[in-house]
Amino acid sequence: MSETINKKKQYLKVKKETPRKREAEARRVDFNPTYYLFNTDEADMQSDRCIKCPIDLIKGMSSEFSFCRTGCPLENKIPLWIEATKNGDIKKAFELSNETSPFPEILGMVCPHDTLCQGGCTISKTESGSVSIGAIEVYLNEQAFKMGLTPDYGQNVEKSGKKVAVIGSGPASMSCATFLLRAGVEVDMFEKSDRPGGLLTYGIPNFKIKKDVILRRFKWMQEAGMHLHLNSYINTPDQLKDMLDEYDAIFVGVGAPNGRGARMKNEEGHGVYQVMDILTHAQKGVFESFYENILKDKNVVVIGGGDSAMDAVRTSVRMEAKSVRCAYRRDADNMPGSAKERINAQEEGVIFEFYTAPKEVIVDKENFVKGLKCERTALGEPGDDGRRKLEVLEESDFEIECDVIILALGFDNHEFPWYSTAQINSGRWGEIIVDDDKRTSNKRIYAGGDGVRGADLAVTAAVDGRTAALNIIKDFGLTL
């Protein structure tokens, strides 16, 4: 009991600290990471705040259970690797964190921790705040890599003779491949793009996750024997038929790539872009020196209030736009994107136009964008979903002058022609239908990630890939 009281004192005495960030003036001119990583002192201070609930608090409760763990879609063994980190046993912490997670140092950077593990953390409700779980997760893994440790990709496991084709190379596919490799399964990964990683590489900006952190994982997977086929678009029924002949199972991780429109007049005008066009273009600029800066000196308006809108406004700043505005129908409190990213954007000079609904793209004679006609909105009474209803105010039209409009309004699935020929059932929105094991209506084909869920999170894609892999391994009569 006295140890518990001491712990309480510790977490109240030391507050939650998040990684320090670079000054806005410095970060708005490059794509380098916004946040520094924890140093050893910071990681130790935060690790020491973990009260190991309920292991110390609820007698008889299994040490496998904890509230942060239930908040984590991967059910990572968080208190155990935090304890190992605190004890300076980085090797043990690394093994524990990589046991359940296919790429913890990546998810430690991109997960919305405050709504997942840190939201579940028992001390999150105190004034001192939760343990900084994500930052510790990144710290311990980066420390392990510095020590020369590499993740387990079944390097020492006997090959099983089973072969799986993985379509796509985003987090769902990376996760599936990771667990298959650990069981000695041969993996061929097919990616239509010129670089692997899906939205981790070409969607989420470098200032949120460094690209070499993603590519490092592929290097290790390839060294462990995975065959990565880039520029390989699986689009025709014949390609799928050949795959079914050649492989024992297939995993489909194709994402949800179709950006939604705003159904505005003149939306096809020159200077209107889908958010992924801009973000992919900008990420290519991180890799390739010859990229053309299409936003330089432009007045940019981004329409939307989610995380991809925040990525787009912050990217536009770095692409030297003359001005950057975000038009959103509701207010800051009702934005679906993270408040942290909105604050980062505001610090970097982005102007937010709240209560603003886009109505029409204004174009010149050559169909180039000249502005955006908008209407003012207001929030009314709560609807059935508890969210206050949106009202458009009469005769409230106004114009924002701009040369570029970026649509960040969400994503839809793409239904490939091979779904029906390979007997893969899909739903109304083109999403692949799977059972709890992530198996499609074709029992040799599994699927997961955004291609199944619609646009979601890297961590849920990772869970799906892991679930599919574990069931494929079971189908093959193998064990991990």
Ligand X SMILES: Cc1cc2nc3c(=O)[nH]c(=O)nc-3n(C[C@H](O)[C@H](O)[C@H](O)COP(=O)(O)OP(=O)(O)OC[C@H]3O[C@@H](n4cnc5c(N)ncnc54)[C@H](O)[C@@H]3O)c2cc1C
Tell me the CA distances in angstroms from 133 to 16, 63, 216, 257, one per residue in order: 10, 18, 23, 30
Cα distance between residue 48 and residue 52, in whole Å: 10
Q: Which is nearer to ligand X, 80 or 457 (CB)?
A: 457
DSSP calls for 149-187: ----SSTTSPP-S-EEEEE--SHHHHHHHHHHHHTT-EE
- For residue 189, the SS3 value is strand
Q: Which is nearer to ligand X, 152 or 191 (CB)?
A: 191
Cβ 190 to ligand X shortest distance, Å: 5
Q: Which of 156, 165, 161, 151 is CA-nearest to residue 185? A: 161
The reply to whether omega before 54 is within 30° of 0 (cis) is yes
Cα distance between residue 149 and residue 294, in whole Å: 41
Cβ 411 to ligand X shortest distance, Å: 7
Strand residue runs (E) in 260-348: 272-274, 299-303, 323-327
Cβ 471 to ligand X shortest distance, Å: 17
Q: Which is nearer to ligand X, 407 or 457 (CB)?
A: 457
Q: Which is nearer to ligand X, 180 or 461 (CB)?
A: 461
Q: Which is nearer to ligand X, 168 or 371 (CB)?
A: 168
Write the single-letter amino acid at 177: A
Q: Which tokens hold the place of 160?
A: 């099983």
Cβ 89 to ligand X shortest distance, Å: 28
Residue ranges that bind ligand X, judged by CB under 6 A:
110-111, 167-173, 190-193, 198-200, 203-204, 208, 233-235, 253-255, 279, 307-308, 311, 416, 449-451, 456-459, 461
Angle, helix 275-287 to helix 307-318, in steps of 10 degrees: 50
Q: Which is nearer to ligand X, 375 or 431 (CB)?
A: 431
- For residue 39, the SS3 value is coil
Q: Which is nearer to ligand X, 36 or 368 (CB)?
A: 36
Cβ 398 to ligand X shortest distance, Å: 28
Cβ 140 to ligand X shortest distance, Å: 20
Cβ 282 to ligand X shortest distance, Å: 10
